[in-house]
Amino acid sequence: MHTTVGIIGGGPAGLLLARLLHRAGVDSVVLESRDRAYVERRQRAGILEQGTVDVLRAVGAGARLDREGLVHDGIELRFDGRAHRLDFPALTGGRRVTVYAQTEVVKDLVALQLAEGGPLLFEAEVHAVDGADTDRPAIRYTHEGREQTLTCDYVVGCDGFHGIARTAVPEHLRTTYERTYPYSWLGILAEAPPVYDELIYAHSPRGFALASMRTPAVSRLYLQVPNGTDPADWPDERVWDELDARFALDSAPGWRLKRGPVTQKAVLPMRSWVTEPMRHGRLFLAGDAAHIVPPTGAKGLNLAVADVVVLARALAHRAGTGSDELLEAYSDTCLRRVWRAEHFSYAMTTTLHADPAQSPFDTRLQLAQLERIATSPHAAAELADNYTGLPMG
């Protein structure tokens, strides 16, 4: 089999890239190692920047998003027993975010691809990329028990943090930057209506907590926990009690979350990680295959979308004009945005979490920074500008 663009991974990055290329008249094949049900169930991000929403609409994946997505005009910060709201449109000249789960984005993109796109193969596990620096790279994969080869003009690794595509970049040409954090998140999904209209990010002496949502009937909640935590040590009642304690307000002593059946519970590590460059010959890396951010700034999915927008434009430019100019600029163009998001995600994370090694002095610095955001329109605008999304490359 031969295709113009061989895409490894059917997560948001790979699926959206296939849609963008299809609309530009460039053919592609998507190879995804998992089955469809698994890919559509995996619980992950929830916040879409305005630019992400616009791209999904442009590729025809906007109908359900427009019906079911929850448009949010701000977030609430809680610290020192007080609440402060940030008004995004006022601080950014009109930008908002939309709550629409990554699982729903993936379902919409899979349905579109199967209805009118190029091949999307599930349970197709890629083992290797050969000849990345030649004119005819090839992807080797297993499908239905048989070894197969897909030759391509270009290969794109959209295979996430645990993917194999980046191993095709020789080690001496790759630089990796990394930071792991001394805490994780315990995330739950609960059949309980959120008692709040917007997301709440809470700094507390007991650790960070985040209240998010999936629908008007389903809450998504997170607690900072020590690394290595076993979810079995957190029975539902303990999770709810701890959430209530971390969101406590001096002005509303009775404030409580609505409780309901917990349908999922998992511990997520927190990591910052970038590999450079994002291109080697005719192999390109996009999304989590090239960079990871801790989820505190809600940037992971949005960064993956921005990468493939830049890449689809470059591949279409090459198909239309024969010029490699935009493909050559791909890595630098994306990395500028990636490093901005890395800094923002790091700053949100370290300002809001309690590091087990932190001194009382460090805690006072965190509170001073949060107070600054709550009282200075300049500091608030800086957060809002990053959170709602920087312009796509």
* Interface ranges with ligand RFL (CB under 6 A): 8-14, 31-34, 39, 44-46, 102, 125-126, 158-164, 268, 287-288, 295, 298-301, 304
CB of 167 to ligand RFL, least distance (A): 10
- From the list ligand RFL, ligand PHB, none, partner contacted by residue 11 (C-beta under 5 to 8 A by kind): ligand RFL
Nearer to ligand PHB, 106 or 152 (CB): 106
- From the list ligand RFL, ligand PHB, none, partner contacted by residue 90 (C-beta under 5 to 8 A by kind): none
Nearest residue to 224 via CA among 296, 300, 272, 273: 296
CB of 322 to ligand RFL, least distance (A): 29
- From the list ligand RFL, ligand PHB, none, partner contacted by residue 296 (C-beta under 5 to 8 A by kind): ligand PHB
Q: How many residues does the chain have?
A: 393
CB of 139 to ligand RFL, least distance (A): 9
Nearest-angstrom CA–CA distance, 387 and 7: 29
Query: Phi, psi at residue 33, to the nearest 5°?
Result: -75, -30
CB of 298 to ligand PHB, least distance (A): 4
For residue 135, give every residue at least 6 positions away whose Cβ sits within 8 Å of its Cβ, in sequence order, or none: 153, 282
CB of 72 to ligand PHB, least distance (A): 10
Nearest-angstrom CA–CA distance, 292 and 18: 22
Nearest-angstrom CA–CA distance, 202 and 77: 6
Nearest-angstrom CA–CA distance, 220 and 209: 11
Nearer to ligand PHB, 15 or 210 (CB): 210
* Helices (H), ranges, 24-69: 36-41, 50-58, 63-68
Catalytic residue set:
72, 201, 295, 299, 387
**Would you say 272 and 179 are in contact if contact means Cβ atoms under 8 Å apart?**
yes
By beta carbon distance, the residue nearest ligand PHB is 46
Question: Side chain identity at 270, as an amino acid letter?
Answer: M
- From the list ligand PHB, ligand RFL, none, partner contacted by residue 159 (C-beta under 5 to 8 A by kind): ligand RFL
Nearer to ligand RFL, 218 or 374 (CB): 218
Nearer to ligand PHB, 76 or 125 (CB): 76
**Would you say 4 and 152 are in contact if contact means Cβ atoms under 8 Å apart?**
yes
Nearer to ligand PHB, 296 or 331 (CB): 296
Site residues (vs ligand PHB, CB under 6 A): 45-47, 199, 212, 220, 295-296, 298
**Phi-psi map region of 99: left, alpha, beta (phi>0 left; psi -120 to 50 alpha):** beta
**Would you say 310 and 334 are in contact if contact means Cβ atoms under 8 Å apart?**
yes
- From the list ligand PHB, ligand RFL, none, partner contacted by residue 304 (C-beta under 5 to 8 A by kind): ligand RFL
